[in-house]
């Protein structure tokens, strides 16, 4: 595990440096090393492979455009990349064409679902997150699933499940803090 973390750290340093210098190789490295995880997160939000491919492409353009703004002291590269993809996917779903039939699924169905495709399976395995997330209390797992992988806002979740918004925010923050602790080990 230590060897994997070291290798990822080296890749992140290299990509970060290349992004800062607007070197085209940065996007190639991002695509080669992170595409499966990023595509999987996007696909979970937009639920259509063709649209997910477009969103990934848009995200890569944003990464290139805003690459010099990335600051490794503020967070890991993967987190920055993931947030760009997630936000781009969410923006896509907020278009009128997506809003017509969107409903929040029952959390017990989404959290306990087995990945429906090899892409979903690879996405969580590629970053080693699946086993760590499974350790979380179900109330935290459900919220992370809805917020980060289904693309819902904390306000939408609070309204749908009649949970105070502050409780939703606290649970999400607590879950992220717990994940950080486990991933540092």
| 111 & 61 share domain | no
d(C-alpha 35, C-alpha 106), whole Å = 28
- Tens of pLDDT, residue by residue over 20-71, are 888 889 999 999 988 998 999 999 888 889 899 999 999 999 998 998 888 8
pTM, whole model, 2 decimals?
Answer: 0.57
60 and 15 co-located in one domain: yes
Question: Looking at the predicted structure, is the pLDDT value of residue 101 above 50?
Answer: no
Q: Are residues 112 and 181 in the same domain?
A: yes
Q: Are 40 and 120 in contact (CB under 8 A)?
A: yes
Are 157 and 183 contained in the same domain?
A: yes
CA 142/CA 163 separation, integer angstroms: 13
Check whether residue 171 and residue 91 sit in a common domain.
no
> Do 49 and 78 have their domain in common?
yes
Domains: count for the chain: 2
């Amino acid at each position: 595990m230590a060897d994997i973390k070291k290798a990822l750290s080296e890749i992140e340093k290299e990509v970060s440096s290349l992004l800062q210098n607007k070197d085209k190789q940065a996007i190639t490295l991002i695509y080669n090393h992170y595409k499966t995880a990023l595509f999987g997160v996007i696909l979970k939000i937009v639920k259509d492979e063709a649209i997910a491919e477009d969103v990934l492409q848009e995200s890569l353009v944003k990464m290139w455009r805003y690459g010099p703004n990335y600051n490794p002291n503020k967070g890991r590269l993967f987190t920055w990349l993931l947030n760009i993809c997630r936000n781009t996917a969410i923006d896509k779903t907020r278009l009128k064409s997506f809003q017509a039939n969107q409903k929040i699924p029952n959390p017990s169905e989404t959290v306990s679902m087995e990945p429906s495709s090899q892409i979903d399976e690879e996405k969580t395995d590629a970053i080693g997150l699946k086993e760590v997330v499974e350790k979380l209390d179900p109330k935290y797992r459900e919220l992370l699933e809805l917020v980060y992988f289904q693309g819902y806002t904390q306000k939408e979740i609070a309204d749908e499940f009649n949970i105070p918004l502050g409780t939703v925010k606290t649970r999400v923050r607590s879950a992220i803090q717990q994940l950080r602790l486990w991933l540092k080990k």
